[in-house]
């Protein structure tokens, strides 16, 4: 845990994007748990439908990159993931906006799915086809959050396993080395996918706007809308000029579609 404040074991405030991400994952976990109890024969089909499997994704399962992170198997694993998500997202949200944290998490989750697809397709192309290992859980998003902390706040000290003090950058390096070692085991696709989530998180903090993708998109949308309105005003001004010429009068407009008063020009000329 990060040594923030008086207690090294304290979690950040449960608010904003952190609360939304944790509650959405928790709600999905209990929803599938209830479905498993109510209709156990359909539970396996639900897990297969919502987890990410590259072969199914390439054949039309376009929703899977957005749903697999909500699938959690096992109480202890889910508890560890959600506590990690709470701590890492909450830590970053104390220093960045909620939209920035949400964008980082989503980018890491999607990056995990992209990496799994890339290695699946590449292995098949090279003649070393890998088994389509289903991805589930939000570990990819968590890894992206962890990499962001290591890259931006590398000197921040954590307590590894609540006992060993370690800087954030070294902890990221340890997790990365463990994941790289897994590439030589049976879960190659899983390990490569986690590294993809980490890379997506790193690219996000380097390339994404400081105030978040949502804010940048809003700014772009309003700028585009304003350009459209200015174009309409200029177009209407040109039509009005043509109309006034047909009436024997001359009017002029500037590049913003605002009428130019000839009397103002005379005043500027003599002043």
Q: What is the pLDDT of residues 132-143, one digit of tens each?
A: 678 999 999 999
CA-wise closest residue to 12 among 94, 80, 81: 94
Pairwise CA distance, residues 161 & 19, whole Å: 24
Most confident of 96-105, 129-138, 205-214: 96-105
Whether the Cβ atoms of residue 205 and residue 144 lie closer than 8 Å to each other: no
Mean pLDDT of the chain: 82
State both tokens at 106. 């989503």
Pairwise CA distance, residues 139 & 193, whole Å: 10
State both tokens at 49. 């439908």
Mean pLDDT calculated for residue range 73-79? 90
Least confident of 2-11, 16-25, 162-171, 180-189: 2-11
Helices (H), the chain: 16-38, 40-50, 54-57, 64-67, 75-93, 98-125, 139-152, 168-182, 188-207, 213-246, 262-270
Pairwise CA distance, residues 124 & 54, whole Å: 12
Pairwise CA distance, residues 118 & 224, whole Å: 34
Q: What is the pLDDT of residue 143?
A: 94
Nearest-Å Rg of the Cα atoms of the chain is 27
What's the pTM value of the predicted model, to 2 decimals? 0.74
Counting residues of the chain whose pLDDT is more than 70, the rounded percentage is 80
Considering the domain 16-208, what is its CATH architecture? Up-down Bundle (1.20)
Whether the Cβ atoms of residue 82 and residue 145 lie closer than 8 Å to each other: no
Q: pLDDT at residue 3 above 60?
A: no
pLDDT tens digits along 212-262 = 555 555 665 666 777 777 777 777 777 777 777 777 777 776 666 666 765
Q: What is the pLDDT of residue 81?
A: 93
Reported confidence tier of residue 117, pLDDT bands at 50, 70, 90 = very high
Mean pLDDT calculated for residue range 100-115? 95
Q: What is the pLDDT of residue 213?
A: 54
For the chain, give every domain's residue range. Answer: 16-208, 217-270
């Amino acid at each position: 845990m990060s040594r923030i404040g008086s207690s090294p074991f304290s979690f950040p405030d449960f608010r904003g994007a952190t609360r939304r991400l944790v509650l959405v994952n928790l709600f999905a976990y209990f929803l599938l748990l209830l479905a498993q109890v109510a209709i156990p024969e359909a539970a396996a089909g639900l897990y297969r439908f919502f987890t990410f499997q590259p072969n199914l994704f390439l054949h039309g399962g376009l929703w899977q990159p957005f749903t697999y992170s909500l699938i959690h198997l096992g109480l202890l694993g889910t508890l560890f993931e959600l506590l990690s998500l709470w701590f890492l997202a909450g830590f970053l949200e104390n220093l960045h906006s909620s939209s920035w944290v949400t964008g980082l998490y989503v980018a890491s989750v999607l990056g995990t799915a992209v990496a799994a697809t890339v290695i699946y397709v590449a292995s098949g192309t090279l003649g070393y086809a890998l088994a389509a290992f289903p991805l589930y859980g939000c570990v990819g998003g968590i890894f992206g959050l962890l990499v962001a902390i290591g890259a931006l706040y590398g000197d921040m000290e954590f307590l590894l396993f609540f006992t060993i003090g370690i800087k954030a950058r070294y902890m990221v390096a340890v997790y990365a080395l463990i994941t790289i070692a897994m590439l030589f085991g049976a879960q190659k696709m899983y390990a490569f996918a986690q590294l993809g989530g980490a890379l997506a998180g790193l690219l996000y903090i380097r390339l994404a706007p400081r105030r978040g993708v949502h804010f940048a998109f809003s700014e772009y949308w309003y700028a585009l809308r304003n350009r459209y309105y200015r174009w309409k005003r200029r177009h209407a001004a040109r039509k009005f000029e043509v109309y006034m010429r047909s009436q024997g009068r001359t009017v002029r407009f500037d590049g913003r579609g605002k009428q130019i008063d000839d009397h103002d020009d005379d005043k500027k000329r003599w002043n």
